Amino acid sequence: MNKLSLERARERDAALKLLSRIRLPSLSGKNGEELATDEAAVWKRVLNFRIARYLKPHSIFESHPGLGISTCLYRFVNRDVVLLSAKDIVKLQMADLVDIDPFGQPWDIVGQYVNALRRSKVIMITNGEAYAVTRRWTNAQRHPSRYYGRKMPRWVVEEYLPRLESILRKPCRFFYVFPSTVRSIHSKLPLPKSLFAGCPQWMWWLKRYPPDIKKIGIGKRR
Ligand SMILES: C[S@@+](CC[C@H](N)C(=O)[O-])C[C@H]1O[C@@H](n2cnc3c(N)ncnc32)[C@H](O)[C@@H]1O
């Protein structure tokens, strides 16, 4: 095993240890939904768990529960949590916590529930366009980027996250990027840094090409 895969295995094992107290529906899964497909999938569940534990949400809207692994984590945190359906979120127009986690792009779902998202407390959102940006498949991008290849991280911080912050009207409090996906956490109120401890921001080969985030000021826009 080379140094990079060793490091990835260690990160994955640390995250798995964190989740080991919880009985999950399936560890084998299908279609790449299982817990440990890659470090992004593992960290998604770890952060979902930590954020729910911190926020103690009464209501959660999960747009794509899939096999229900994250649902299980939310229920572990609060047995009485109200899991909202699409109809509920339209009716209530808000949730304490929103988890948007499609395969592919989130734009349709964001557009569909934009008013409810703006009223919700914390939003966690996945976008699977990263690979298309790297490959310069502009037809597979809703808002074609000027960046591609090793500059994909610049798409994340200069184009994608600012667009999302402005649509949701909530600053991005944390994000991480895997070669195929970006996961970001948006909240009007600041969140403790400890929630994101240990989670690598630029995963796998992206570690070698991080852009200068301080210069760009992600999380400062309102
Ligand atoms: C990434 S998985 C969700 C995993 C889940 N959030 C978790 O943490 O355990 C995405 C799920 O959305 C489902 N899905 C259903 N309709 C979809 C659509 N139109 N676009 C993308 N994903 C869709 C997929 O089958 C899959 O089960």
**C-alpha dihedral (161, 166, 170, 173), degrees to nearest 10:** 20
Domain assignment present for residue 222? The answer is no
Domain assignment present for residue 198? The answer is yes
Q: What is the pTM of this model?
A: 0.86
Per the structure, the complete domain to which residue 95 belongs is given by 3-216
In short, whether 179's Cβ falls inside 6 Å of ligand 1 is no
Structural domains of the chain, count: 1
In short, whether 144's Cβ falls inside 6 Å of ligand 1 is no
Q: Among the listed ranges 24-33, 34-43, 48-57, which one has the minimum average pLDDT value?
A: 24-33
Q: What is the pLDDT of residues 67-88, one digit of tens each?
A: 888 998 999 999 999 999 999 9
Axis crossing angle, helix 39-55 with helix 3-19, rounded to the nearest 10: 30
Q: Are 180 and 130 in contact (CB under 8 A)?
A: yes
For residue 18, the SS3 value is helix
Q: Are 52 and 78 in contact (CB under 8 A)?
A: yes
Q: Is the pLDDT reported for residue 11 higher than 70?
A: no
**What pLDDT band is residue 209 in, cutting at 50, 70 and 90?**
confident
Q: Is the pLDDT reported for residue 220 higher than 60?
A: no
Residue range 34-50: average pLDDT?
Answer: 83
Domain assignment present for residue 221? The answer is no
Give CA–CA dist 157/149, Å, rounded.
Answer: 15
The CATH code of the domain that includes 167 is 3.40.50
**Closest residue (by CA) to atom 25 of ligand 1?**
66
